[in-house]
Amino acid sequence: MPEKPEVITVTKKLERRLKNRKITACHVYYEPIIDYPSVKEFSTRIKGQTMHEFTTRGKWIVITLDQDYLLIHLRMEGKFFFRERGVPLEKHHHVVFTIDDEEELHFQDVRKFGRMKLIPKDKILTMPPFTELGLEPWDKHLTVEYLREHLKKKRIPIKTALLDQSIITGIGNIYDDEILFLSHIFPLTPACLLNDDELAAIIRNTVITLDKAIKEGGTTIRNYTSEEGVTGLFQNHLYVHTKVGEPCPNCGTKIVKIKVNGRGTYYCPSCQKQTERS
Ligand SMILES: [Zn+2]
């Protein structure tokens, strides 16, 4: 599943190709992908709108149009492909946007979990997903005080709490392990028991980890010969995630895998020591 850095990289790729261009038609071939409004309203309203700004909120791609925001969630395997206008539809291409009457942007999704919403500008802050999302990792309001306040009643493991998108949005299972490794925190530690130094480390290492992945994503992307098929999982330089049995890059101890709330979790038993509180 793409994580936040991959979503940002895909968004930048789309921006490069689509900024200030107009959606002149939209056809939906698998209706459940359109989450809001109705499929008919979605494809009618979007027609004629120009794509101005490209950004992300949580793991949603957010495209600012003339009257609305187009929100896209790639979920497991959603991908975009550019095609010449009028080419025959390929398998698993579920939504087709015509751009400037010239070419087409195809949304392909083998697993069919991807979702799109078209939300009027004046409603964006009062509707999901924006109402359900916590702070972005780079938000200046993400402070030790904020985290302490939001974790103080959470007895769940910190590993699980960091996946809660209503606190910090954009941390997925992979980078969660990396952030806790860099912060020297045992993943099963109850979130409410972390001290201020540990909370500060989490905030610092979240930014470091995601920035590094975005940078690597940019590097990987340059190896692509076209804009196509970019989902990008840039996991070339992970410290612990998936590294079970390999030596910890810090101390050489073998990395261990456990399950935390059903999610595969990797950590170094020496660097991330289990203490009495966990
Ligand atoms: Zn270690």
Q: What is the CATH number of the domain that holds 74?
A: 3.20.190.10
101, HSE (Cβ side, Cα atoms, 13 Å): 1
Q: Active-site residues: which are they? A: 2-3, 59, 263
CA of 254 to the centre of ligand 1 (A): 8
Domain range holding 196?
Answer: 144-267
> What integer pLDDT is reported at residue 224 of this predicted model?
34
CA of 255 to the centre of ligand 1 (A): 8
Q: How far is CA 254 from the centre of its chain?
A: 29
Task: Please give the share of the chain, as a percent, with pLDDT higher than 70.
Answer: 92
> What integer pLDDT is reported at residue 4 of this predicted model?
87
**Mean pLDDT of all residues belonging to the chain:** 91
The verdict on 179 and 241 lying in the same domain is yes
Taking 60 as the threshold, does the pLDDT of residue 235 lie above it?
Answer: no
- CA 132/CA 143 separation, integer angstroms: 19
Q: Considering the domain boundaries, does residue 37 fall inside one?
A: yes
> What integer pLDDT is reported at residue 251 of this predicted model?
97
Taking 70 as the threshold, does the pLDDT of residue 55 lie above it?
Answer: yes
Taking 60 as the threshold, does the pLDDT of residue 234 lie above it?
Answer: no
pLDDT class for 227, splitting at 50, 70, 90? very low
CA of 247 to the centre of ligand 1 (A): 8
**Taking residues 38-43, what's their average pLDDT?**
98
> What integer pLDDT is reported at residue 225 of this predicted model?
33
What's the pTM?
A: 0.86
CA of 160 to the centre of ligand 1 (A): 21
Taking 90 as the threshold, does the pLDDT of residue 166 lie above it?
Answer: yes
CA of 271 to the centre of ligand 1 (A): 4
Six token digits for residue 105: 């942007």
Domain boundary among 132, 165, 197: 132
Q: Considering the domain boundaries, does residue 272 fall inside one?
A: no
> What integer pLDDT is reported at residue 243 of this predicted model?
92
CA of 170 to the centre of ligand 1 (A): 26
Number of domains the chain contains: 2
User: Mind listing the pLDDT tens digit for each residue in 115-160?
Assistant: 999 999 999 999 999 999 999 999 999 999 999 999 999 999 999 9
Domain boundary among 132, 158, 174: 132
User: Mind listing the pLDDT tens digit for each residue in 174-218?
Assistant: 899 999 999 999 999 999 999 999 999 999 999 999 998 888 765
Six token digits for residue 186: 């045992």
